[in-house]
Chains A and B, each alone.
Chain A
Amino acid sequence: MEPSEVEFLGEKKMVSIVPHFSSGIIHLISGPVGPFRANLPVKVPIWLALNLKQQQKCRILAQDWMDTENLNELIEKEKGEKLFTEMPSDHFMDEAQMLLTAGADDIPDVDNIRTAVKDIWDLRNAKLRSSVIAFVKNQGSTYAKLDHLTAMEINSIRSLLPETLNVMLQIEESGKSSTSTESQQFSSTLDTTHSQNQS
């Protein structure tokens, strides 16, 4: 999966906009949107917000969590804990990327928000990296908890980790196969279910 595809999924999240026009309810497959009243905030999916913004038909309001104080608190919390902390959104990185780029002139304090989000991203990335290395190194504990990991982060290790585990499984299997063939079949079925979970 490419980052742009993860972003595509993130575009389904809702965001508040202030429209410059009035219109009735628009019926979409994902559900009705609107009604739009000029200057009254309304929640729409991000993709629609971006589109309306391009036509200069609305003003984008920042998500509730997009304010520097809140983000700095999150940074402190993330620094303090060994495990991952909960993020305000499953797609915080892509949402920030889209909204802060498109709505740069609408959202106050854009640069600071962007820096804070990037800080969180870097912190969590470093954490993810070290935990992946630890996970591979002592694979005696054969599972990893992915609580509070966001979609973009999971996607960022997908290019390497599943293949690595695959290789390790194959080496392990070949060690067992000399003793019994039955266990090999068992672990190869395990392997397929495992890779399905990964993708």
Chain B
Amino acid sequence: MSLIQPNQYFSIKDILVTEERVSSEVRQPMPNLGFLCSSSKKEHLDPGSKLDIPVWLASSLSSKHKSIVSCELPRFYKDSYKEILHADACAVELNKWNQYFYELGLILPPIVKDDNQQIPELLLEVFKSRFRLIMDCEQSVFGAHSIQVQLTALEKQLLKQGNQGKMLLINWLNKGVKHIQTSDVVDNLRKRKRMEV
């Protein structure tokens, strides 16, 4: 499992992650694109006007060489939210902020220029402290629904894997011996041909 696979055009997850809107400021005039900014009735977009654009668009508009727009961090990576996370990350319903909190945080740094150095550190810290939630949830396989709804997509995926292992173990403890399945690798091996005599 990997967090993000860059340049996966058809990855649904990638699409969902980059749906998030960031507020940005236009740096260069964009002719005939006035309709993007719903508040103004002008035909052209002037430098200085504010726009909410999705991340997938922002990433191509704010390349290193010539940035057409400059983007701000989404609010939940900003200092005020950071403090909430520092206080107790487990108490936060992170999935309400963003289902893909971690994934989004990882792709933002190249797009957003200012004070973004701390995002990975923040993500790591949040993930570490929220790992307890996953473990708690895994421990009580039946139930703990209230915790489960707070998890983000990544955490849910981890939990699902953990649960699978847990169920296997519980089944084994209850039922005991079961037939062992042939592993796929062995299944795919072709049988050796008998030597011609």
Binding site for B on A (CB under 8 A): 2-5, 7-8, 97-98, 101, 129, 132-133, 136-137, 139, 155-156, 158-160, 163-164, 166-168, 170-172, 174-175, 178
Contacts and interface: CB of A to CB of B under 8 A. Distances in A.
B176 A97 contact: yes
A8 B173 CA distance: 14
Given A137-B128, A137-B129, A171-B127, A160 B176 contact: no
A20 B171 CA distance: 34
Most buried by B among A97, A98, A174, A178: A174
Contact of B172 (A4, A139, A160, A166): A4
Nearest to A129: B135
Contact of B2 (A3, A137, A156, A170): A170
Interface in B113-145: 117, 119-121, 123-124, 127-129, 131-132, 134-135, 138-139
Interface string B12-32: 000000000000000000000
A156 B154 contact: no
Contacts of B147: none
The 4 closest A-B pairs by CB, nearest first: A159-B165, A175-B120, A3-B172, A160-B162
Interface residues of B, number: 40
Given A167-B3, A178-B117, A3 B169 contact: yes
Contacts of B138: 160
7 contacts: A7-B177, A97-B172, A129-B139, A136-B131, A137-B131, A171-B120, A178-B110
Contacts of B123: 171
Contact of A160 (B106, B127, B161): B161
A174 B4 CA distance: 11
A174 B106 contact: yes
B186 interface: no
Contact of A101 (B120, B132, B139, B176): B176
Given A156-B169, A178-B109, A168 B127 contact: yes
B120 A133 contact: no
B4 to A, nearest CB: 8
Contacts of B120: 171-172, 174-175
Contacts of A159: 161-166
B87 interface: no
Contacts of B128: 136-137, 139, 168
A16 to B, nearest CB: 21
B124 A175 contact: yes
A188 B137 CA distance: 30
A172 B164 CA distance: 27
B192 interface: no
A106 B83 CA distance: 63
Nearest to B172: A3
Contacts of A101: 176-177
B158 interface: yes
A23 B176 CA distance: 30
Contacts of B163: 159
A43 B120 CA distance: 57
Contacts of B195: none
